[in-house]
């Protein structure tokens, strides 16, 4: 550090201490702002992660390997044949299973009809491997009656409560599934209700049902084939890197050009939009809040400059350049904002950690289950602590400090030394 830089830093700190009350008042607003900023960021991240986790478990995971075209057609013709499925599984296991992939589920999805003596209803039929699906999906935790599918089940169906009621079925009742098979023919399959679930999402409860993957394959004439292979990661942050590494691995195998790796943002565009809108409204709120705080900082630093005009004149008479005088103001503003902002962030983190580290319980505000975009809102929001958010928060505060000090610094830069000395007369 040069001698002048050291002098500027020393003067800046002493000047802040000199106007202790004014500095503390401004710092208090920045501390509150910093705490609120980090609180809302980590709580927002926790909420979003919960939405994503809930949605990807109901859907195709954080990442889904599908045949090109399936995302749009949702038709059995765009399925992954068993050879390609083997290729994907081989690519994933090659050189060790990536550590951040927690679960991998093959699924055979088809849209068809579920019929009983009471009538027929459209149904979204998922052929699943009961063992891996139970670890992947949350459906097995939503059992209302009976049980989830088990290994060895053949003609079993796990049915949404809405569909069960619409078809006037009970546990043990038989009903018929009808859908277009791999050959384009209409095929039927008799199944028996072994359990029912209730997610709280009406459209899911009214249409979804799980049957064993082997049963679905045999029924639809495509044993061993799947429509998607879902991957559940540790968290949504790992998606871009894992997707890129998976694409890299797949590209080394012939036939991989028929496959695509979709992230949850592509397979669940409504959720992606909801997260972005929520982030935007959060940023907007923070922007307005920090705009107000910045005005307070401008006022404090500007008052300090106006009050000390002659001092700036003296400093320049003693050998500081106008630019160095201005940098003194910038440093004061930055010290004030960055120090108090850092304290605020630390305070926000500590309070959130100690009070709501295990989760912020909002159940008293949620009378009934709350769903949107196919996501069930959990009543307990668990904050998500990420270093990146702290760095973002500090950078934002640094930027605010810099911007808020800019105008007062310009005023200091333009001080006419001879003019300031006239006040002595």
Partner 1 sequence: MVGNPALRTEAVWKVFHQEAEEVRAVRGVTLTIQPGEFVVLAGPSGSGKTTLLNLIGGLTRPTDGRVWVDGLELTRMGSRELARMRLEKLGFIFQSYNLLPVLSALENAEFPLLLRGMERDQRERRVRELFQRTGLAGLEHRRPGKLSGGQQQRVAVIRAVVGEPALVLADEPTANLDSAASDILLTVMEELNRDLGTTFIFATHDSRLMERSRRLIHLVDGQIVSDQWQESRREQ
**Region 7-36 residues binding partner 1, contact defined as CB under 8 A:** 7, 11, 14-15, 17-18
Please identify, using beta-carbon distances, which residue of 185 and 424 lies nearer to partner 1.
Answer: 424
CB of 373 to partner 1, least distance (A): 57
∠ CA 45-64-226, nearest 5°, is 150
At its nearest, how many Å lie between partner 1 and the CB of residue 10? 8
Q: Residue count of the chain, please give it.
A: 425
Binding track, positions 322-361, relative to partner 1; x by CB under 8 A: xxx-------------------------------------
Q: Are 141 and 272 in contact (CB under 8 A)?
A: no
Furthest C-alpha separation in the chain: 105
What's the token pair of residue 419? 């003019």
Nearer Cβ to partner 1 (6/277):
6
User: In this structure, what token pair is assigned to residue 335?
Assistant: 């010290």
Name the residue nearer to partner 1 (CB basis): 84 or 300.
300
Taking the complex as a whole, how short is the minimal distance between the CB of residue 22 and partner 1, in angstroms? 14
- Find, among 265, 253, 248, the residue nearest to 98 by Cα: 248
Shortest Å, Cβ 17 to partner 1: 8
- Angular region, 274: left φ>0, alpha ψ -120 to 50, beta rest: alpha
Task: State which of residues 315, 328, 382, 412 lies at the interface with partner 1 (CB under 8 A).
Answer: 315
Nearer to partner 1, 150 or 321 (CB): 321
**Per-position x/- string for 274-313, each x denoting binding to partner 1 as judged by CB under 8 A, each - no binding:** ------------------------------------xx--
Among 96, 172, 254, 319, binds partner 1 (CB under 8 A): 319
Q: Which two tokens stand for residue 30?
A: 């920045």
Under the criterion CB under 8 A, does residue 252 sit at the interface with partner 1?
no
Secondary element (H or E) of residue 144: strand 143-146
- 216-219 long-range contacts, CB within 8 A, separation 24+: 216/108, 216/110, 216/125, 216/126, 216/127, 217/108, 217/127, 219/177, 219/181, 219/187, 219/189
The least CB distance from residue 404 to partner 1, in Å, is 22
Binding footprint of partner 1 on the chain (CB under 8 A): 2-4, 6-7, 11, 14-15, 17-18, 310-311, 314-324, 416-418, 421, 424
């Amino acid at each position: 550090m040069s001698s002048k830089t050291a002098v500027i830093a020393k003067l800046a700190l002493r000047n802040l201490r000199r106007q202790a009350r004014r500095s503390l008042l401004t710092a208090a607003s920045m501390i509150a702002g910093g705490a609120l900023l980090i609180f809302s960021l980590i709580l927002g991240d926790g909420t979003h992660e919960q939405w994503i986790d809930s949605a990807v478990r109901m859907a195709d995971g954080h990442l889904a390997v599908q045949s090109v075209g399936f995302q749009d057609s949702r038709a059995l013709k765009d399925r992954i044949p068993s050879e390609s499925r083997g290729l994907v599984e081989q690519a994933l296991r090659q050189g060790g299973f990536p550590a951040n992939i927690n679960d991998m589920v093959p699924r055979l999805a088809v849209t068809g009809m579920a019929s009983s003596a009471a009538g027929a209803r459209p149904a979204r039929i998922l052929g699943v491997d009961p063992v891996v699906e139970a670890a992947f999906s949350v459906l097995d935790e939503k059992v209302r009656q009976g049980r989830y599918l088990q290994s060895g089940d053949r003609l079993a169906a796990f049915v949404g409560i809405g569909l069960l009621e619409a078809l006037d079925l009970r546990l043990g009742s038989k009903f018929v599934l009808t859908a277009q098979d791999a050959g384009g023919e209409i095929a039927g399959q008799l199944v028996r209700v072994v359990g029912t679930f209730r997610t709280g999402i009406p459209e899911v409860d009214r249409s979804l049902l799980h049957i064993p993957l082997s049963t679905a394959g045999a029924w639809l004439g495509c044993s061993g084939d799947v429509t998607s292979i879902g991957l559940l990661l540790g968290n949504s942050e790992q998606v871009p890197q894992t997707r890129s590494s998976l694409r890299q691995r797949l590209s080394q195998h012939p036939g991989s050009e028929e496959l695509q790796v979709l992230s949850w943002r592509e397979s669940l565009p409504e959720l992606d939009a909801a997260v972005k809108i929520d982030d935007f409204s959060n940023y907007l709120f923070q922007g307005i809040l920090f705009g107000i705080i910045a005005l307070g900082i401008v006022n404090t630093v500007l008052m300090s400059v106006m009050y000390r005009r002659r001092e700036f004149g003296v400093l320049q008479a003693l050998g500081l350049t106008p630019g160095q005088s201005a940098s003194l103001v910038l440093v004061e503003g930055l010290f004030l904002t960055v120090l108090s902002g850092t304290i605020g962030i630390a305070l926000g983190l500590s309070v959130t950690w100690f009070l709501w580290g295990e989760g912020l319980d909002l159940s008293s505000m949620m009378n009934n289950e709350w769903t949107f975009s196919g996501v069930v809102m959990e009543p307990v929001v668990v904050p998500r602590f990420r270093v990146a958010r702290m760095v973002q928060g500090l950078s934002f505060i640094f930027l605010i400090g810099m911007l808020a000090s800019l105008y007062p610094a310009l005023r200091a830069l333009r001080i006419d030394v001879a003019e300031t000395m006239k006040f002595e007369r």
